[in-house]
Amino acid sequence: MRYVHKTSTPKFFIKDTKHLKSWKKYKSHKKRDLKQHILDKEQNHLCIYCESKISLDNSHIEHLRPKDEVRYPQLLFVYRNLTVSCNGLCHVFDNKLTPLSCGHIKGNEFDKNMFLNPVELRDIRDYFVYDFDTYEMKPSLKNPIKAKYMISTLLHLNDEGLRYARRIALRNFNKKMYQIKDKESRKKRMIEVLNRENIAFISFLRYKYRHLLKSALQDM
């Protein structure tokens, strides 16, 4: 999970939602325009939670604080509360239609005292580590209680499909990078790609090569 910088509220969104009181009244083609904007301008087409690569057709607008008209009615159309999540079906092994992770699993479950907000916490990556034997996302020592809530209770970020997808992402990244035979050129290219923040499971890959990225910063 990574920090996502929210840009200013787009003018088209202000216009489209000006008189709306219900999310159901927000027309589907307008929601699609909003998704496109967020994916293009803020999230690099990565799920806000699991960082799977997503498109308009396998994602949904995600209210960080739920679109619950009793608990958070004032946040229904607040742009800063809106992100894009996968549908929890990016990495299924069969024809399951039940979401396995991320926004649809989360639903209206929300503990404001436990939630780690990816649009507010610039250091959100520091709350998580990764196991390269199991490809699981795990809590760091920073705040393991909150991290565990996010990983296991709220978002199910270690379902079988996601763990497999992380393994494949690392394998493909390494395969591509090690085609570069010169060691220094390879290191330079790895740093360049990892700093783009636009490939699937980028936090997982950056954690794998954290020492390389750290040394690059020290050399600057």
Q: Is residue 6 part of a domain?
A: no
Q: Is residue 1 part of a domain?
A: no
Q: Is residue 4 part of a domain?
A: no
Cα gap 220→217, rounded to integer Å:
5
Average pLDDT over residues 200-215: 96
Cα gap 117→62, rounded to integer Å:
12
Q: Is residue 77 part of a domain?
A: yes
Q: Is residue 110 part of a domain?
A: yes
Q: Is residue 27 part of a domain?
A: yes
Q: Is residue 109 part of a domain?
A: yes
Question: What's the pLDDT band for 43 if we cut at 50, 70, 90?
Answer: very high
Q: Is residue 203 part of a domain?
A: yes
pLDDT at 220: 61
Taking only the tens place, the pLDDT of each residue in 150-198 is 999 999 999 999 999 999 999 999 999 999 999 999 999 999 999 999 9
Cα gap 83→102, rounded to integer Å:
12
pLDDT exceeds 70 at position 69: no
Cα gap 68→160, rounded to integer Å:
30
Quote the pTM value: 0.94
Question: What's the pLDDT band for 67 if we cut at 50, 70, 90?
Answer: confident
DSSP secondary structure string, 95-155? ---S--SHHHHHTT---TTT---TTT-TTGGGGEEEETTTTEEEE-SS-HHHHHIIIIIIS
Taking only the tens place, the pLDDT of each residue in 94-152 is 666 567 899 999 999 999 999 999 999 999 999 999 999 999 999 999 999 999 999 99
Domain count, the chain: 1
Domain interval for residue 44: 11-219
Mean pLDDT, rounded, of the chain: 94
